[in-house]
Structure 1
């Protein structure tokens, strides 16, 4: 069973444009990481450079979420605008924490001071929130 785009956008609380931004940044990040790992190029560069496109997509996503909030607020839809802004800020902040911890983990790989469970904890929280949201939708 495949989910429709309408279901995905309702459950995740994001638009199709935001999904497209995330996918493009993920593809660029995967290509950069592939260049580093498989072809042994750019080995002396920091991991922050390779994860940078995903951070840039988060900044653009936050910018567009603020624009959507302002437009919804000006049109008089106050409660859904505030709920959408809170949801977006929460998901974006958890995503930022995950990417930040992942970069810190990759930078200190020979001396791991961060566990993978703590790196993945924000993702688990996002998954739980999406499940709760999906149950409330139906």
Structure 2
């Protein structure tokens, strides 16, 4: 069973544009990641920060988009809904950023965190999405 676009938008609290930005940045990340482990090319020296840079750029674009939407909602005098949207989107962006940042640090060996500790932001985000999905059903 696949989720519909409306279900994804409602449960994740993201717009279709934000979802597309995330998908495109993940596609570019995947292509660069494959080049790192391609045996025919000697590109093993590619840094993990470079590999994750499309994902960080996608987060930056989404943050910019969220700020623009927040300002427009404030100008339309929908203060309560704008605060709810900025808090939810900010939490989602922060959790994804923390996960990617900790994963990069772990892959480079710059931290001694276990992978279970690196994945904590995703666990928190999954719990928040589950609560949001149950509230809006």
TM over 0.5: yes
Which deviates more from structure 2 when the two are superposed, residues 97-106 or residues 40-49? 40-49
Q: 1:1-138 maps to which residues of 2 (within 5 A)?
A: 1-39=1-39, 40-108=41-109, 113-138=112-137
Distance 1:3 1:33 in 2: 27
1:106 is displaced (CA, Å) by 0.8
Structure 1 residue runs without a partner (length 5+): none
**Gapped regions of structure 2 (runs ≥ 5):** none
- 1:61-110 deviation line (CA, Å, top 9, x unaligned): 000000000111111111110000001111111111100011011111xx
Q: CA RMSD in A?
A: 1.3
The number of residue pairs the alignment matches comes to 136
Deviation digits for residues 86-135 of structure 1 (CA, Å, limit 9, x no counterpart): 01111111111100011011111xx8712000111111111100000000
TM-score, normalised to structure 2, is 0.94
Task: For 1:68 and 1:61, locate their aligned partners in 2 and report how far apart those are by CA, in whole Å.
Answer: 10
